[in-house]
């Protein structure tokens, strides 16, 4: 019965009125993969998420989820999905256990199974001693765990999460990922999540980078980084635009501006950084050498800066200087 | 969150296959019962809500009862002495039902905004179960709150107690509640702000109650016509009949009301129509689903 692929998108597109939110997306997600859709806000992630949850049917192209056509057979797909929304879906006036109970009932689970599953999940997510606490009394990290326990209660085949890390501190994020991997290893769960944190996408088995509704890159984080090659240099400067222009002029390499620092792919051996420092001793405040990140991949593929949330609309997008 | 608020427009969803739940009927009923139970659990955790739903109508009853006592006279029954407090009594009970229904259905908008509803919307449960759960939970709560006033009120006014007519009255109150909650559900489902609902409440729901014969009897002229066209009028008149069941004195004026049979009939039709609208509304995908 196990499907080879959990999700197949073939030329999927979606428009809200005249605004095309998603264009021509084709990709396949195998079962038991941890897959991340990453991109800036407005990149099409939310629309994709809605399509995958069957909240909206696809307008263009073909979407198959767990062997069922999403346009015609949403009702078959729904019982197989565990969904964690970006905004919390817990009832704060109910206890942890009650939230799980009602969720089970809305998913058509028999009472006997609900009673049996709840203690299992509470134990797995270290919530056993909070079962009778009202959700409004829990911390943000604990609420996330309850959300996940709730989504996994009906034993879904696929877990969908929209921006699950928003509002979580790094330690809790790491813990979340460990738990997700454990759940995947144990139950063969397919995990699909969206995020606008590039560093988070690095943890996935495979990543799809979305920008302006289009798929700009697809592959494992290693594969994508390998496209950039060697190393990446970050230069802090009081006048990054001028510095970038001068580097471009002097060395003929593409330089982009990322949050007030100049970023460029290292075209030659590491010793080249010395000549950079020699050439612009006053303009460079500091120099950082690092492995390329998915953010560098994003810049290389789209030609513009991947801004932190909220900045992308008001000047956060820096043009890559000197890119052909 | 900003990127999630884009509304679906035009034919965005017209290609959709039918969203028919594969859940068996028993599963739908269990889901509805769970959602109804949730309404009760939430209510019992926020017991102060009872003051809003019962307190204000009772205050109205006391104040209007005192204020209008000396001037009120039933237009068509000079011989039957009926105090305004007693005339207004069934109307106050119906006002409690209306307030409870309004408060309960406003919570749909909160459920939407706070996110609880989104996980219900993508669940395999059929949409009618979502509507029925909310409506039946809220309607039974409304009747329970009405009883808090109805029983002491009957005792205080010295209205005689008959078991059969009282049980029938409870049934009627439940159907009125179902009608009002379903009406509120239908309105609230399509709204994304509680402010909008308050506006509807003030210009539509409150006048509906004022013009139901609850506050003053239907006379001649246009006001009388409006009152007779209002389906809630028949809930109030049904209640008056059942309160004074077998009371010959009261019959001198209750016979001028719509008959008990007609009251039942219109109230049942009202509830049926509102339930139909409420369930039908949940089948449509609207932009609010994506909040």
3-class SS letters over A239-286: CHHHHHHHHHHHHCCCEEEECCEEEEECCCCCCHHHHHHHHCCCCCCE
pLDDT of the residue at A3: 57
pLDDT in tens, A151-171: 999 999 999 999 888 777 788
Compute the distance between CA of residue B149 and CA of residue B172 in angstroms, rounded to an integer: 16
Compute the distance between CA of residue A130 and CA of residue A100 in angstroms, rounded to an integer: 12
The mean pLDDT value for A277-290 works out to 84
Task: Tell me which chain B residues have a C-beta less than 8 angstroms from the C-beta of A133.
Answer: none
In chain B, the residue whose alpha carbon lies closest to the alpha carbon of A84 is B119
Q: Among residues of chain A, what percentage have pLDDT more than 70?
A: 91
**Residue of B10, B32, B123 to mutate for A, most A C-beta atoms under 10 A:** B123
pLDDT of the residue at B105: 87
In chain A, the residue whose alpha carbon lies closest to the alpha carbon of B107 is A91
The mean pLDDT value for A85-111 works out to 91
Classify domain A228-302 by CATH number: 3.30.70.260
pLDDT of the residue at A321: 40
Tell me: pLDDT of A102 over 90: yes
In chain B, the residue whose alpha carbon lies closest to the alpha carbon of A41 is B3
Who has greater pLDDT, B203 or A98?
A: A98
In chain A, the residue whose alpha carbon lies closest to the alpha carbon of B26 is A108
Which one of B3, B24, B118 has the shortest CB-CB distance to A85? B118
pLDDT of the residue at B279: 93
Q: How many CB pairs lie under 8 A apart between chains A and B?
A: 126
Q: Which of B146, B210, B220 is nearest to B176 (CA)?
A: B146
Q: CA of A46 to nearest chain B CA: how many angstroms apart?
A: 6
pLDDT of the residue at B152: 93
Mean of the per-residue pLDDT values of chain A: 84
A315 near A268, Cβ under 8 Å?
A: no
Tell me: pLDDT of A34 over 90: yes
Task: Of A139-148, A159-168, A300-309, give the lowest mean pLDDT range.
Answer: A300-309
User: Locate tokens 């996940």: which residue?
Assistant: A148
Say if the ipTM goes beyond 0.85.
Answer: no
What does DSSP assign to residue B72?
-
Boundaries of every domain in chain A: 5-219, 228-302
Residue B37 burial (CB count, 10 A) = 16
B41/A46 CB distance under 8 A: no
Q: CB of A1 within 8 Å of any CB in chain B?
A: no
Compute the distance between CA of residue B195 and CA of residue B165 in angstroms, rounded to an integer: 40
Tell me: pLDDT of A311 over 60: no
Per-residue confidence at A257, pLDDT binned at 50, 70, 90?
confident
A41/B6 CB distance under 8 A: no
Q: Do domains A5-219 and A228-302 have the same CATH topology?
A: no
Low-confidence ranges of chain B (pLDDT < 70): 1-20, 74-81, 285-291
Q: Given 3.40.50.300, 3.60.130.10, 3.30.365.10, 3.90.226.10, which CATH number is that of A5-219?
A: 3.40.50.300
Question: For chain B, how many helices (H) and strands (E)?
Answer: 13, 0
Boundaries of every domain in chain B: 22-286
**Residues 6-45 of chain A whose Cβ lies under 8 A from any Cβ of chain B:** 15-17, 19, 21, 41-42, 45
Q: CA of A324 to nearest chain B CA: how many angstroms apart?
A: 32
Tell me: pLDDT of A197 over 80: yes
Report CA Rg, chain A: 22
Q: CB of A85 within 8 Å of any CB in chain B?
A: yes
């Amino acid at each position: 019965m196990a499907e080879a692929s959990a999700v197949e998108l073939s030329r999927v597109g979606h428009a809200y009125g005249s605004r095309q939110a998603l264009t021509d997306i084709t990709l396949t997600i195998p079962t038991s993969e941890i897959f991340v859709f990453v991109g800036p806000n407005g990149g099409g992630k939310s629309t994709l998420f809605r399509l995958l949850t069957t909240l909206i049917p696809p307008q263009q192209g073909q979407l198959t989820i767990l062997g069922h056509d999403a346009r015609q057979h949403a009702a078959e797909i729904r019982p197989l999905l565990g969904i964690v929304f970006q905004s919390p879906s817990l009832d704060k006036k109910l206890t942890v256990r009650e939230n799980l109970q009602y969720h089970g009932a809305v998913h058509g689970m028999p009472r006997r199974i609900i009673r049996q599953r709840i203690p299992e999940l509470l134990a797995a997510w270290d919530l056993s001693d909070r079962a009778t606490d009202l959700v409004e009394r829990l911390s943000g990290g604990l609420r996330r765990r309850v959300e996940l326990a709730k989504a996994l209660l009906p034993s879904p085949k696929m877990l969908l999460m929209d921006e699950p890390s928003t509002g979580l501190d790094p330690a809790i994020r790491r813990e979340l990922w460990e738990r997700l991997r454990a759940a995947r290893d144990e139950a063969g769960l397919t995990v699909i999540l969206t995020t606008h944190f590039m560093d988070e996408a690095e943890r996935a088995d495979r990543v799809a980078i979305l920008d302006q509704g289009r798929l700009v890159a697809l592959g494992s984080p290693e594969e994508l980084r390998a496209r950039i090659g060697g190393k990446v240099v970050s230069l802090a400067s009081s006048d990054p635009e001028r510095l970038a222009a001068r580097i471009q002029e002097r060395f003929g390499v593409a330089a982009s501006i990322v949050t007030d620092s100049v970023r460029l792919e290292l075209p030659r051996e590491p010793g080249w950084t010395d000549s950079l420092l020699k050439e612009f001793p006053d303009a460079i405040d500091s120099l950082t050498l690092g492995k390329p990140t998915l953010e560098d991949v994003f810049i290389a593929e789209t030609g513009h800066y991947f801004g932190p949330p909220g900045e992308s609309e008001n000047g956060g997008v820096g043009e890559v200087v000197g890119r052909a | 969150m900003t990127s999630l608020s884009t509304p679906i427009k035009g034919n965005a969803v017209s290609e959709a296959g039918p969203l028919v739940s594969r859940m068996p009927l028993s599963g739908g009923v269990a889901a509805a019962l769970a959602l109804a139970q949730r309404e009760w659990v939430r209510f019992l955790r926020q017991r102060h809500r009872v003051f809003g739903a019962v307190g204000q109508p009772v205050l109205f009853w006391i104040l209007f009862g005192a204020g209008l006592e000396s001037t009120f006279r039933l237009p068509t029954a000079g011989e039957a002495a009926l105090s305004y407090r007693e005339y207004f009594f069934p109307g106050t009970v119906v006002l409690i039902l209306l307030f409870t229904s309004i408060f309960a259905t406003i919570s749909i908008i909160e459920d939407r905004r706070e996110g609880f509803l989104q996980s219900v919307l993508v669940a395999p449960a059929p949409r009618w179960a979502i509507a029925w759960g909310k409506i039946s939970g809220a309607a039974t709560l409304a009747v329970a709150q009405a009883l808090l006033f109805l029983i002491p009120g009957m005792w205080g006014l010295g209205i005689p107690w008959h078991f059969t007519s009282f049980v029938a009255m409870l049934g009627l109150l439940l159907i009125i509640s179902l009608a009002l909650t379903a009406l509120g559900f239908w309105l609230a489902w399509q709204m994304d702000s509680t402010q909008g609902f308050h506006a509807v409440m003030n210009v539509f729901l409150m006048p509906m109650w004022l013009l139901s014969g609850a506050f003053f009897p239907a006379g001649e002229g246009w006001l009388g016509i409006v009152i007779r066209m209002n389906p809630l009028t028949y809930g109030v008149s049904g209640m008056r009949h059942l309160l004074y069941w077998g009371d010959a004195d009261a019959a001198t004026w209750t016979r001028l009301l719509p008959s008990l049979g007609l009251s039942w009939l219109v109230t049942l039709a009202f509830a049926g129509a509102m339930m139909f609208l409420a369930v039908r509304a949940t089948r449509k995908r609207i932009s609010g689903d994506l909040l």
